[in-house]
Amino acid sequence: MEIFNKKLTSVDLERQLALPNNTKTKALPFDGPGDIVIPITIGHGGVQVDVRCSWKAGRLALTEGWVEIARNLRLNAGDIVALKSEGHGRYKMTVRSGSA
C-alpha cells in the first residue's frame, strides 16, 4: 500500500521531508504525536536505513536520516519519492527522476 508520494522541493532536500497532507498515517506505527523510527529499504538495491518520522502539530516529516538518503541518492528538486508499506513493519521507498 502506498503511504505517500511527493515531488521534492529544495527545502525537502536540505532540511526534512515534510509529508503531504494526504499521507496514510494509519499505515505508520504511531500511537499519537511524537517520533518513531522506521526502517526504510531504498530502491532496488535493498539498502535499509533507519529514518526518524516526527508527528508534531498534525504535521508529519521524515527528519533524522532523511537528508543523508537524499545526498547519497543524489536526489534533486523535482524528483518524486514514494513510500510503500510492505507489511510486518517493513517500508520501501522508490525514486523517480523528475527530469524523465
Q: What is the DSSP letter of 76?
A: -
Query: Which range among 5-9, 14-18, 54-58, 78-82 shows the weakest confidence by mean pLDDT?
Result: 54-58
- Alpha-carbon span 84 to 34, nearest angstrom: 21
Which of helix, strand or coil describes residue 14?
A: helix
Q: Calculate mean pLDDT across residues 47-68.
A: 89
Contact residues for 100 (Cβ-Cβ < 8 A; gap 6+): none
Phi and psi torsions of 53, nearest 5°: -115, 125
Give the pLDDT confidence of 10-57 residue by residue, as tens digits: 999 999 999 998 888 788 888 777 899 999 998 777 788 999 999 887
What pLDDT does residue 26 have? 81
**pLDDT given at position 62:** 94
Q: Under a CB-based contact definition with an 8 Å cutoff, are residues 90 and 26 in contact?
A: no
Between 38 and 58, whose confidence is greater? 38
What value does the mean pLDDT take over residues 58-73? 89
